[in-house]
A = this chain, B = another copy of it.
Amino acid sequence: MSQRQVDAERKPASGSGRPGKNGDGAERHEAIHRSISDAIIEHRLKPGARLREDALSEVFGISRTGIRKILQRLALEQLVTLTPRRGASVTRPTAEEAKDVFDARQMVECGLMPEVARRITAADLERLRDMEREERQALKAGEQSSAIKLSAAFHGELARLSGNATLAAFVEQLCSRSSLILAVYGNAGHLGCESHDHDALLRHLEQGDGERARAFMSRHLKAIEASLSIHEPEDESPDLYEIFSG
């Protein structure tokens, strides 16, 4: 019916922008993946939201085959949950998963700080300061969505500076999941990362003080985790015996 179609990435007059015919598929898939991924990270798609294949294929103008591929990838990145015959939905992290993710971040991101402090260059610092500034501006403008995404990007970029691509990719994934966790357990109005924290962290890195950066990152992550209100989700199968036997 409605023929709304979203160009995940507008390419200016480079070949035909027609979805049916040409167009390099790999890039397009990548763009669609990022598009959905961003929507999830920015909380424009909330945990539990169902992602029907037909709808997505219509929106992005490709067939269900491509959508399925992207959905599978998102599932492996733990951003969507694929239940066997009920399709895809945005993952709703459990309290346990939340703890695991933050413990993992604690271990990996903190462990990376000394190496980052050793390798960081002036250009890197400048880029990170730009990102931090952008994040703060978004926050001030009330655009929580952008701020969340930028914060995750900041942490990811930091990890990439360690030079270890494997760990950087892992951190990036953890940050995406953290964004999901914030969507479920975060208190409104209290965004995960305080901008001042990022600024202070950069100062420690600038001074090459890896140990202090590590300690600060540890506190930073602990603060985020502590700001969560971990309420067990509505118990799907309450233990009636326990409830009524008391």
User: Using a CB–CB distance below 8 Å, which chain A residues touch chain B?
Assistant: 26, 68-69, 72-73, 76, 84, 96-97, 100-101, 103-104, 107-108, 111-112, 164-167, 170, 174
Q: Which of B69, B84, B100, B111 contacts A165 (CB 8 A)?
A: B100
Selected from B84, B97, B167, the residue in CB contact (under 8 A) with A100 is B167
Which residue of B104, B112, B165, B167 contacts A166 across the interface (Cβ within 8 Å)? B104
Interface of A is mostly: helix
Contacts A76-B76, A111-B107, A111-B111 given; does A100 touch B170 at CB 8 Å? no
Q: Are A103 and B69 in contact (CB under 8 A)?
A: no
Minimum Cβ distance to chain B for residue A30 (Å): 12
User: What chain B residues lie within 8 Å of A166 (beta carbons)?
Assistant: 97, 100-101, 104, 174
- Bound complex: CA A167 to CA B112 (Å): 16
Contact of A108 among B84, B101, B108, B174 (CB under 8 A): B108
Give the residue of B96, B100, B108 whose beta carbon is less than 8 angstroms from that of A107.
B108
Which chain B positions have C-beta within 8 A of A97?
A: 165-166
* A164 / chain B contacts, CB cutoff of 8 Å: 100, 103-104
Q: Give the docked Cα–Cα distance between A104 and B163 (Å).
A: 11
Question: In the assembly, how many copies of this chain are there?
Answer: 2
A119 CB to closest chain B CB, in angstroms? Answer: 13
User: A68-B69, A73-B76, A103-B164 given. 12 additional CB < 8 A pairs?
Assistant: A72-B72, A96-B165, A97-B165, A97-B166, A100-B164, A103-B167, A104-B167, A107-B111, A107-B112, A108-B108, A111-B111, A170-B170
8 A–B contacts from the bound complex (CB under 8 Å): A68-B69, A69-B69, A100-B164, A103-B164, A104-B164, A104-B167, A108-B108, A111-B111
The answer to whether A167 touches B69 (Cβ under 8 A) is no
CB <8 Å contact, B72 and A104: no
B residues near A72, Cβ cutoff 8 Å: 69, 72-73
Of A73, A96, A104, A112, chain B has the most CB atoms within 10 Å of the CB of: A104
